[in-house]
């Protein structure tokens, strides 16, 4: 009996030991699974933040490229012209882009905005940076025009033909256009962008962000950080991506820092730790306790416990797979807001994945097997396009750095131009095993450049008066002088300058001043012959080369011209009168090139102005330039 009792006791003790072992193992397993799930969620947070950074960087880079292409158009001529404003307004209204408005500023900071406003931005940092030939993107700020809107200002320098800064082109973009990741409904997540000093550039969810100050590091000094703030600053200065944790008002948070190449900024994604823990509890908690209950009820059936454990593992794997699918869809949704098609190619399996095929104007399946052979066949276009695609695939195995390709695809209705930036990933043997490509549709940019080139080719005439502009007029006069016969030809080089023109502008406004310039141009056309060269040099200064005119009738010709230049303008009760003064030099008598004739005609003009204006003076060699 005692022996049997001892056996029972031994069996009971063994059962208790097995039970205790199983319970202990299950609790350890529960803790291990939670830690594992926690690490996986942190990796997911890092991936989402990195994708958000790529999308943001591509967006900002696209803005800079667009403004840079537009700035090339304004290399020649004056900046503050009605024609330029019409062009900017047309682009902002007709082109599918994110800029709310554009503006051109001269070197003194006087800015003309495409919506008709006039501003002075001399003290603004983006203006000063552009004068130093820097491309600048400001931090977000309150718009003075659009209520409750935050904006970016993006500026680029406008260079002349000598690569000197002649002005600044800038555009305004609403922060809402960035379509940032705001986290799950109900808060707990946030997305911000900071500079390397910790100052906020923009915030993704301004009403629910846990960090309220204007500087991230100031917020960290006021909360319980589990990492050293100095160490975090050092990581940021090094341009490293890293993860940190902090506690605020009894709530724990995880914060991920992802560097942006643009402006040295950082994308900062914040998530409440409770969201991760609640998710893990939802994923694992009920199943673990269910398994434990079954083990307690059937402790003798260890195999059954193992089977249940395997079933549970399978369920967790299925749930994990589904969650990864959800995460993948979330990333696809974020990528879908970008106009850049993202492609991933595996060199080992020859599989090509398109993460956001809906962003492409060309129909592509999400997954393409044997891509080097199938993709050229799927693309519309001719054999040249297919050969370009094959050559890209052939070059991937030897690629070690990022490389940019361009291809054109004709679908029968439209020719699409794509710029493809390919980056390679290397394995432990320094061999390329995967490539990531960003395909951007640059059709619109190329069309815009072509349109600007057309405008540039037509820029031989002055935009306001229709006369030759400075460049074209100078070239035509120079050519005529080069082919002049000194024995037979006699030309008059004259400079006409308006009297009291500044007073007209100040009294009646610049619109009246522009109308006066157009009237002067009309008088010059009527007075001179069709083969005389008339150009507007700058402002209210005009140059005319009178072709083959006898020297003895030049004075009479100019006196007749001055009588026609008495022009009167009214605006309500205000009235103002302008006239003109003329200085002339003769070719070849006074010179045989543009610069010499201009200098002597200018001296004659100075003499005419000193005689009381509305006077014509011909160079005699007695004038002295005292300007």
Q: Which residues lie below 8 Å from residue 491, measured CB to CB, with a gap of 6+?
A: 480, 481, 484, 545, 546, 547, 548, 549, 586, 587
DSSP SS3 for 358? helix
- Say how far apart CA 423 and CA 342 lie, in whole Å: 11
Per DSSP bridges, beta strands 141-142 and 136-137 are unpaired
The answer to whether the beta carbons of residues 536 and 514 sit under 8 Å apart is no
Handedness of CA 480, 481, 482, 488 (dihedral sign): positive
Q: How many CB atoms lie within 10 A of CB 221?
A: 10
In whole angstroms, give the CA distance from residue 616 to residue 561. Answer: 9
CA 267, 273, 279 angle in degrees (round to 5)? 110
Longest dimension (CA), the chain: 152
CA distances from 594 to 494, 543, 582, 585, 590 (A): 11, 11, 17, 11, 11
CA 63, CA 57: separation in Å to the nearest integer?
10
Q: Which residues of 153-171 are buried (b: 16+ CB within 10 A; e: fewer)?
A: bbbbbbbeeeeeebbbbbb
SS (H, E, C) 50-65: HHHHHHHHHHHHHHHH
Contact 617, 583 (CB under 8 A): yes
Q: At 252, which helix (H) or strand (E)?
A: strand 251-259
C-alpha–C-alpha distance, residues 571 and 576, integer Å: 9
Query: How far are the Cα atoms of 558, 565, 579, 584 from residue 528, in angstroms, in the given order?
Result: 10, 13, 18, 15
Q: Report which of 452, 538, 564, 416 is spatially closest to residue 69, judged by C-alpha positions.
A: 452
Question: What are the tokens at 298?
Answer: 């059937």
540 is catalytic: yes
Q: How far apart are CA 150 and CA 212, in angstroms?
A: 16
Count the neighbouring beta carbons within 10 Å of the beta carbon of residue 20. Answer: 10
Residue the block writes with tokens 């001719």: 382
- In angstroms, the CA 257 to CA 573 distance is 66
Rounded to 5°, angle at Cα 333 from 186 and 362? 165
- Residue in 139, 462, 497, 540 annotated catalytic: 540
Closest CA to 70 of 462, 459, 444: 444
Active centre residues (catalytic) = 540
């Amino acid at each position: 009996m005692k022996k049997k009792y001892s056996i029972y006791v031994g069996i009971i003790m063994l059962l208790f030991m097995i039970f205790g072992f199983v319970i202990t193992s299950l609790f350890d397993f529960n803790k291990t699974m939670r830690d594992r799930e926690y690490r996986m969620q942190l990796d997911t947070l890092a991936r989402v933040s990195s994708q958000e950074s790529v999308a943001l960087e591509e967006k900002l880079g696209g803005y800079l490229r667009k403004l840079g292409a537009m700035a090339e158009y304004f290399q020649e001529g004056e900046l503050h012209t009605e024609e330029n404003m019409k062009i900017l307004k047309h682009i902002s209204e007709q082109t599918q882009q994110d800029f709310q408005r554009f503006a051109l500023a001269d070197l003194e900071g006087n800015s003309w905005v495409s919506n008709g406003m006039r501003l002075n931005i001399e003290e603004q940092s983006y203006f000063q940076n552009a004068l130093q030939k820097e491309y600048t993107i400001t931090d977000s700020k309150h718009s003075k025009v659009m209520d409750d809107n935050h904006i970016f200002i993006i500026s680029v320098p406008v260079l002349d033909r000598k690569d000197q800064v002649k002005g600044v082109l800038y555009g305004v973009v609403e922060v809402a256009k960035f379509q940032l990741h705001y986290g799950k409904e109900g808060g707990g997540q946030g997305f911000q962008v900071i500079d390397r000093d910790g100052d906020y550039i923009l915030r993704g969810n301004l009403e629910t962000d846990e960090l309220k100050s204007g500087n991230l590091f100031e917020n960290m000094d006021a909360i319980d950080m589990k990492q050293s703030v100095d160490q975090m600053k050092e990581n940021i200065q090094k341009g490293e991506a890293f993860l940190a944790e902090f506690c605020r008002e009894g709530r724990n948070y995880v914060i991920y820092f992802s560097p942006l190449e643009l402006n040295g900024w950082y994308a900062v994604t914040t998530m409440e730790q409770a969201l991760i823990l609640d998710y893990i509890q939802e994923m694992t908690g009920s199943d673990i306790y269910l398994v434990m209950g079954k083990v307690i009820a059937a402790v003798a059936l260890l195999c059954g416990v193992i089977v249940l454990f395997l079933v549970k593992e399978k369920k967790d794997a299925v749930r994990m797979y589904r969650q990864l699918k959800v995460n993948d869809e979330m990333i696809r949704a974020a990528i879908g807001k970008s106009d850049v098609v993202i492609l991933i190619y595996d060199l080992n399996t020859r599989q090509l994945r398109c993460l956001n095929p809906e962003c492409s104007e060309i129909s592509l399946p999400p997954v393409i097997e044997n891509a080097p052979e199938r993709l050229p066949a799927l693309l519309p276009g001719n054999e040249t396009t297919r050969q370009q695609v094959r050559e890209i695939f052939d070059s991937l195995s030897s690629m070690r750095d990022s490389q940019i390709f361009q291809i054109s695809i004709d679908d029968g209705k439209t020719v699409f131009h794509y710029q493809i930036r390919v980056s390679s990933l290397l394995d432990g043997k320094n061999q390329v095993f995967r490539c990531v490509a960003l395909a951007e549709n640059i059709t619109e940019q190329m069309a815009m450049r072509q349109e600007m080139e057309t405008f540039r080719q037509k820029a031989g005439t002055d935009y306001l008066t229709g006369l030759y502009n400075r460049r074209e007029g100078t070239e035509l006069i120079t050519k005529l002088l080069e082919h002049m016969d000194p024995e037979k030809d006699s030309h008059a080089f004259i400079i006409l300058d308006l009297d009291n023109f500044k007073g007209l502008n100040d009294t009646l406004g610049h619109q009246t001043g522009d109308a006066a310039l157009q009237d002067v141009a009309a008088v010059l056309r009527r007075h001179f012959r069709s083969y005389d060269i008339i150009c507007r040099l700058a402002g209210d200064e005009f140059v005319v080369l009178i072709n083959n005119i006898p020297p003895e009738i030049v004075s009479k010709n100019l006196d007749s011209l001055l009588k026609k230049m008495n022009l009167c303008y009214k605006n309500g009760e205000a009235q103002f009168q302008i006239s003109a003064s003329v200085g002339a030099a003769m070719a070849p008598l006074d010179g045989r090139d543009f610069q010499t004739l201009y200098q002597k005609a200018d001296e004659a003009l100075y003499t005419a102005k000193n005689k009381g204006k509305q006077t014509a003076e011909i160079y005699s060699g007695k004038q002295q330039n005292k300007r």
